[in-house]
Amino acid sequence: MSKLRLTKIPASEITPFSVYLKRREFLTGAAAGLGMAVMAGKTALAEPLQSTKSDYVLDEKLTPLKDITTYNNFYEFGLNKSDPVNLSGGFKPKPWAIEVDGMVNKPGTFDIETLIKDFPLEERVYRMRCVEAWSMVIPWDGFQLSHLLDRVEPLASAKYVVFETVVRPSQMPGQSGLFQSLNWPYIEGLRLDEARHPLTLLAVGLYGETLPNQNGAPIRLVVPWKYGFKGIKSIVRITLTDKQPLNTWKATNSQEYGFYANVNPEVDHPRWSQASERRIGEGGFFGANRRPTLPFNGYADQVASLYSGMDLKVNY
């Protein structure tokens, strides 16, 4: 089993590498003649971000920017993996504010630009594991969700955090067609202690630039020890509550998707095994790009204690 190295390192050691990779991937993407939407997303919308601090690094090869931005799920734009990049060009992520309400002392509406100034951005390289048994290694730029939660002062009675994606049928073709794949808005939730965990990020960029539309612009959740569907995109509201929220995928099919969604190689999805994963962007014949899936996606040392005493087969 590959060992995860999760250490604190100074920004100076990692930023030049990611900047180098970013340039390289951009050039590679341009040379490969990516679709207009990708190029428009990169050139017209992406802006450099100042990620001043870098706390976490993962000792694995980064997934190329081209793969991260052209192969993913964002049902508001369609069901296919290429729909998000191809159909999100008309989405307007600026200006943007997040409303934080519910069981808090200081509810408020927070402008993203202001949050980015208030909470210095960090670059964090996280392994990401999709429930569909593929994975990526992504250099996110973001700030800890805990900073925003501290600002609104959750009440002692608050136990859960609910997240909500924007509803904008005019800019999101998957929300406006006759066939509706999911009930909108897309909803996700975390227990308050999971939300406050230092690994839990609100990401506003990747590879040192603002998030492309297809990856959840302008702000999305990143919880690296959980399956990818917990990473809700384009967030407009965060609500503190004392009841476990019903997240979108559990509401859609509770046999297959739960509330916790912790990466667990021992609990199979009803239709496929979760024991191994395909690393996107790594070629390889005869399954050479498959690797074993790690408990909690390799972050067990950091997060397993959150679930002590819980049956993780029941709470999947």
- Report the interface residues with ligand MTE, using CB under 6 A: 72-76, 128, 130, 165, 186, 215-216, 228-229, 231-234
Residue number of the CB closest to ligand MTE reads: 228
Measured from the CB atom, the residue of 64 and 216 that comes closer to ligand MTE is 216
User: Nearest approach, Cβ of 168 to ligand MTE (angstroms)?
Assistant: 11
User: Nearest approach, Cβ of 73 to ligand MTE (angstroms)?
Assistant: 4
Within its chain, how far is the Cα of 241 from the centroid?
Answer: 22
Cα 72 from Cα 229, distance rounded (Å) = 11
Residue 275 near residue 291, CB atoms below 8 Å: no
User: Nearest approach, Cβ of 33 to ligand MTE (angstroms)?
Assistant: 22
Measured from the CB atom, the residue of 78 and 154 that comes closer to ligand MTE is 78
Measured from the CB atom, the residue of 154 and 163 that comes closer to ligand MTE is 163
User: Nearest approach, Cβ of 72 to ligand MTE (angstroms)?
Assistant: 4
What residue has token string 């916790």? 260
User: Nearest approach, Cβ of 233 to ligand MTE (angstroms)?
Assistant: 4
Those residues with Cβ within 8 angstroms of residue 129's Cβ, 6 or more apart along the chain or in another chain = 135, 227, 228, 263, 277, 293, 297
Those residues with Cβ within 8 angstroms of residue 130's Cβ, 6 or more apart along the chain or in another chain = 73, 227, 228, 229
Measured from the CB atom, the residue of 110 and 249 that comes closer to ligand MTE is 249
Measured from the CB atom, the residue of 6 and 131 that comes closer to ligand MTE is 131
